[in-house]
Amino acid sequence: MQIYGLQVMGPWVLLAVPPEKVTLQPGQTLRVHLSFNYKYRGEEPVTITLHGFIGTRQADGAFRSVADGAFEVALAPSTEFTPWEGAVDIPTGAGLWGIGATPTGTYDLMVRLDELPEVSAEVSGAVDIVSGGADMSGMMGMVMMLVMLGMVAPMVSEGMAEEGAAAGGV
């Protein structure tokens, strides 16, 4: 299996080929383009699952994922090695007010076949996830709403007090 391209899906589109690093913000999707050759001697098509991961390789050899995506592929029977090319999308989480967002950092990229985990490709340090300006703009909008509410609330309560005094004074 060979990874031959990475594409960021979001407000901007960026195409890179490893070993260049790709920069993502939480909430964006990484499309990983890959290819492999297969031979399958069955009579009916077989379905396999391509699984892509953004994460880190641990000291014990395990891969700890922070984002993943899967794509099912139907492969036709073939007695000769047949090339296949495609892509798997790996969405990152934007979270809600930063809670549940994919953590920032530099990560490895791995794609494998779920049915044959030994068939995989990995690129170390291929993905940077950075905190984006969108996080601050969302927070600033909330702060501005609270400031406006703080300015409007005294005016509304003052108007209600005047109406009550006028109604009671007649």
Q: Give pLDDT tens digits for 90-115.
A: 998 877 766 677 888 999 999 988 98
- Strand-pair category, 29-40 with 78-91: antiparallel
Based on the domain organization, do 57 and 109 belong to the same domain? yes
Range of 154's domain?
132-170
Based on the domain organization, do 124 and 86 belong to the same domain? yes
Structure tokens at 17: 């080929």
Q: Are 35 and 87 in contact (CB under 8 A)?
A: no
Q: Are 108 and 56 in contact (CB under 8 A)?
A: yes
pLDDT in tens, 8-48: 655 444 444 555 788 888 888 999 888 888 888 888 999 99
Based on the domain organization, do 143 and 88 belong to the same domain? no
Structure tokens at 24: 């993502």
pLDDT score of 75 more than 80:
yes
Based on the domain organization, do 29 and 103 belong to the same domain? yes
List, in sequence order, every beta strand (DSSP E) within 17-151: 22-24, 29-40, 46-57, 63-75, 78-91, 105-113, 120-129
